[in-house]
Amino acid sequence: NLGLAKARGEILVLLNNDAVLGPTWLEELIGGLDRTPWAAMAASKLVLYDRPDTLHSAGDYYGLDGVPNSRGVWQADTGRYDTEEEVFGPTAAAAAYRRSMLADMACSGGTEPKGRVLDPQLWMYAEDVDLNLRARLRGYRTVYVPTARVLHRLSATGGGTLASYYVGRNLIYLLAKDLPLDFLLRHLPSILRAQVRFVMEAVRNIRGPAARARLRGILAGLLTWPRVLPTRRRVMSGKKLTASELEATIRQFSPRS
């Protein structure tokens, strides 16, 4: 957030310190925005650093069950995701954003404290999912640029119990913060099933520290989600999409077998 506040230029780029860039990555990524004036964000193709023939993300999506994921994750990079096209949102490990869009997001009040782009309440996991949801609710769109290729060392900085805890907690915060009430009520059964599945998977692996951290994170989310309600009110008051329009958008970009 401090960097984004200080940065200048029409396009700003976020890049993880565990990402290794292809030789023309930046040129290709910015070119994607140049070719698509309708897009406010550009998503890279991320592949695994130690298995560069395996995808990690070809753009992100959000499920009707409240679970985010990446297109093509863990799949072989066979060319299926080599088309420049619209996706739900980018993975912030390697993404470009129009400055005008980021300025609008900072002014829209979707963070606590106000005036930030990424929400400090989420800290370091799923904060890009939150930004994608808030941006979509305000009508912003993303182009996926397959020629902007990045090798990603997964969890080289974080990961482990840290990731397990905050992912468990923050997915619940996203439900409480970014989804219209009509959407939540309509999809409550699938949302509950997803959370129960996470709990059961963690219980089955309870001897592992990551599983125990995931359970602690889910419990923390359930006990403390009201803290994001002031932010929710601001997100909902500034949204431009209805619950039905958000659902249609989520369905549009969910993967199909």
Q: What is the pLDDT of residues 124-145, one digit of tens each?
A: 899 999 999 999 999 999 999 9
pLDDT band at 159 (very low <50, low <70, confident <90, very high): low
| 57 Rama sector, left if φ>0, alpha if ψ -120 to 50, beta otherwise | beta
pLDDT at 257 over 60: no
pLDDT at 27 over 90: yes
Smallest CA-to-CA distance from 120 within 129, 128, 111 is with: 111
pLDDT band at 228 (very low <50, low <70, confident <90, very high): very high
Q: How many CB atoms lie within 10 A of CB 188?
A: 13
Per the prediction, the chain carries an average pLDDT of 96
Smallest CA-to-CA distance from 125 within 74, 160, 81 is with: 160
In one-letter notation, the amino acid at residue 45 is K
pLDDT at 173 over 50: yes
pLDDT band at 229 (very low <50, low <70, confident <90, very high): very high
Q: Are the CB atoms for 68 and 126 separated by under 8 Å?
A: yes
pLDDT of residue 158: 56
pLDDT of residue 123: 87
The rounded distance, in Å, linking the Cα atoms of 85 and 136 is 16
The rounded distance, in Å, linking the Cα atoms of 58 and 45 is 5
Q: What three-state secondary structure class fits 67? A: coil
The two structure tokens encoding residue 168: 């468990």
DSSP one-letter code for 56: E
The rounded distance, in Å, linking the Cα atoms of 65 and 71 is 16
Provide mean pLDDT across the span 102-124.
96
Q: 86 — phi, psi (to 5°)?
A: -75, 140
Q: 25 Cβ partners below 8 Å, 6+ apart?
A: 44, 94, 148, 149, 150
pLDDT band at 185 (very low <50, low <70, confident <90, very high): very high
| Cross-strand bridge partners of residue 11 | 98
pLDDT of residue 155: 65
Q: How many CB atoms lie within 10 A of CB 99?
A: 15
Q: Are the CB atoms for 141 and 41 separated by under 8 Å?
A: yes
pLDDT of residue 17: 92
pLDDT at 171 over 50: yes
pLDDT at 6 over 90: yes
pLDDT of residue 156: 54
For residue range 38-64, list pLDDT tens digits in order.
999 999 999 999 999 999 999 999 999
